[in-house]
Structure 1
């Protein structure tokens, strides 16, 4: 009887210890999750600030591009006018032709510079799009971690509920065994009395000058402190 009580109590204590360890593990996971969440939020905020700065730079580059484009159009018109003037008979001689060639060279250089800046604008725009994709990936990671935390809570709740059910089952089985043995203890002396009427009744049998009664073990204690004590200490 005492061995079975100790076994049931030990199972309960083991399950309780396992739940305690799981709770500690959950606390550590929550701390780690909060740190990761804070880090990701800070990273997300930093990326958003970078994107805002990038978009501002992109807007400035677009404005610069429009200004350069306007200047380039003006230079092209001047070049076209100059070319039209070249088609006419030259009245100002070779000096004017050299000046026209110099202006054409300047316009070509300005066009090359404008094209280079336009390429830089497209590169900045591509980087900004990539940063937006990274932000979406970070948001998906946060959502996945939230789902993981919810699943951990559900698993722990199921394990706790299972431990309570197992403990109640062990307790019920032990109480059934105690009732069966108690019935046997009470019925056996009555059977012996009916079979051997000369013997004294079990509750008043003389042993020397004393009487004895059947020893009925106490039911298993639900107190964790008493469960670890021997029957004599209780």
Structure 2
């Protein structure tokens, strides 16, 4: 487990995100979707799975089932045929069908834009809700995954003993002008540079600001 670091000061954090913004002004999530509904489904399917694997599974699925009503018409067995390459696909299929039914019955087929309503849906937790709020409605919600948890603690940007503490640290310590894209910058940095087993510190644009002791320059 990553050892929690000390909290960086405001000026250092501001410089870190200034560099992230200069390097990638409009970072994007890597899950393919065509509307709010398919985003909810894609994020729900991505639990304990890779974005690449989910995108492969949903490429054909979202062409025929991009609304709750169409998903219900496809049926659970039909959905399973599309997502059976994804881990935990049977349980995920059940949740997708249940949340689709709720959206069709209670929300006129539309995805609600409140966190409370989103997390009430089967298979949708706080992380999924925050991804949808951020990516679809551009609300500065912070979806903390394993990459953000690792980067936040290694660097001192947003340290915490659990994801809830890290989420609060992002909200409290990252300047507001960077809040909208913060979680995407952190996820992408953790996925491609600050990797779990072998970080690519030689290619890191914030290596001089990061307080991680075990830097790797190979």
TM range (shorter): under 0.3
Taking structure 1 as the reference length, what is the TM-score of the superposition? 0.20
Instruction: Flag the structure with more relative contact order, 1 or 2, with Cα contacts below 8 A and sequence separation at least 6.
Output: 1
Taking structure 2 as the reference length, what is the TM-score of the superposition? 0.21
* Structure having the higher Rg: 1
